[in-house]
Structure 1
């Protein structure tokens, strides 16, 4: 029976370096063009990164677990390095 790991679900989030981000950019690019697709992806990446960072700070303060905060940092740093600071 197929199962879905948390890592697989995380990979489908609509953020830049993840597969979900590639899917989002492709779908938006098909409808309105590649420039708009890239801008939408950048906004989604920074928005999701901010939400994950805020949730990570909260989880860190409640339980001492910093893994969500590290995921947010990786996501934002990876997007900035890949796309020149968008």
Structure 2
């Protein structure tokens, strides 16, 4: 994967994490299907059961992950999230 693809993936995952983090869309962008499904299920099912508290928690997790993605250098992002397959934080 070349530098521009890494940079684009980092930007997309970071912005999606910040704005739609509770839905786990940023996980799908990075190829972490299971983590994305977990976030989506907790947001929907857990949000219904807990009157939205679980959705809020997933939103905060998505926000934190989005900020972390955007503050990493392209090399660090590639090493940890693309090559290293680090699904959480």
The answer to whether the superposition gives a TM-score over 0.5 is no
Which has the bigger relative contact order, CA under 8 A and spacing at least 6? Answer: 2
For the pair shown, which has the larger CA radius of gyration, 1 or 2? 1
The TM-score by the shorter chain falls in which range? 0.3 to 0.5
Hey, which of these two has a bigger chunk of helix by percent?
A: 2
